[in-house]
Amino acid sequence: MNRRPNRQAIMASVLTADFAALGDQCRRLEMAGVDGIHWDVMDGLAVPSLSFGPDVIAACRRHTAIPFEAHLMTNQPDRLVDQMAQAGCQTVIVHPDWLQNPRRTLQGIQERGLSAGVALSPGSPVDLARWHLDIVDLVLVMTVEPGYGGQQRIALMTDKVREVSLLVERQDRRIEIEVDGGVRPDNIAEVFGAGAGRFVIGSALWEDATFEAAVTSLREAAASP
């Protein structure tokens, strides 16, 4: 049976970071207590924005030891898996509805020694994850439309998190549930209560006085009844 973690994992999205000091920002986020860096890899084709490539991720890898995960929002994500592994990512997340053969892609990720995740956009049915729960390590529920940061969370997506959680609980293997999009201190407890244990946090980390204060605020809010 799946077990919800006692401690919520905070994965920092660096779309809001100062790109001129990205390595230093990753180091500071590690010191502040985040559990990993979430790289929104966007090609400007599959989604409107253009963000990081493997060379940037590899350059930042030298500045921190915490886990990296790559969320591939690109036209041909299969071509990037090897490069993400070489750049120092431990997890690669793909959208199954954007792939010709999702299962082959997920198995290919795992064959490279990486954790494999599936991402569900707000309009993507939960069944897209259901048929891969025997092999995936993580399900990412998008609570905003993929493509750019700073969006307001779609509150109805909490129901999708709950639905995914029920499916995951029926599995005889551990599968993480992650949420990405507009997660803040005033709503993290709701999403955690729905079954998520990992939270991709972007702009909320930059709105507090320090990264340390932001991480503390998020953890305390998630633990509150």
pLDDT tens digit sequence for 180-218: 999 999 999 999 999 999 999 999 999 988 999 999 999
Three-state secondary structure call for residue 74 = coil
Residues 6 or more apart whose CB falls under 8 angstroms from that of 167 comprise: 126, 129, 130, 133
CB 122 within 8 A of CB 157: yes
Question: What torsion, rounded to 10 degrees, do the Cα atoms 22, 27, 29, 32 define?
Answer: -160
55 a catalytic residue: no
Residue with tokens 């000091």: 21
| Digit-coded pLDDT (tens) for 134-160 | 999 999 999 998 876 667 888 899 999
Which of these is catalytic: 24, 35, 40, 82? Answer: 40
Instruction: Name the pTM for this structure.
Output: 0.94
- CATH fold label, 9-223: TIM Barrel (3.20.20)
The ranges assigned to domains in the chain are 9-223
CB 81 within 8 A of CB 108: yes
134 a catalytic residue: no
76 Cα distance to chain centroid: 19
CB 205 within 8 A of CB 12: yes
d(CA 115, CA 122): 23
Q: Phi first, then psi: give them for residue 5, nearest 5 degrees.
A: -65, 150
CB 143 within 8 A of CB 150: no
Residues 6 or more apart whose CB falls under 8 angstroms from that of 140 comprise: 71, 93, 117, 118, 119, 120, 178, 179, 180, 200
Q: What is the DSSP letter of 154?
A: -
d(CA 8, CA 32): 15
| Digit-coded pLDDT (tens) for 26-69 | 999 999 999 999 999 999 888 888 899 999 999 999 999 999 99
**What pLDDT is stored for residue 2 in this prediction?**
43
Whether 3 shows a pLDDT value over 50: the answer reads no
CB 38 within 8 A of CB 200: yes
| Residue 56, H or E segment | helix 54-61
Q: Phi first, then psi: give them for residue 26, nearest 5 degrees.
A: -65, -40
d(CA 13, CA 40): 7
Which of these is catalytic: 78, 137, 159, 180? Answer: 180
Whether 86 shows a pLDDT value over 50: the answer reads yes
Task: Identify the band that residue 171 occupies on the pLDDT scale cut at 50, 70 and 90.
Answer: very high
Residue with tokens 């790289």: 39
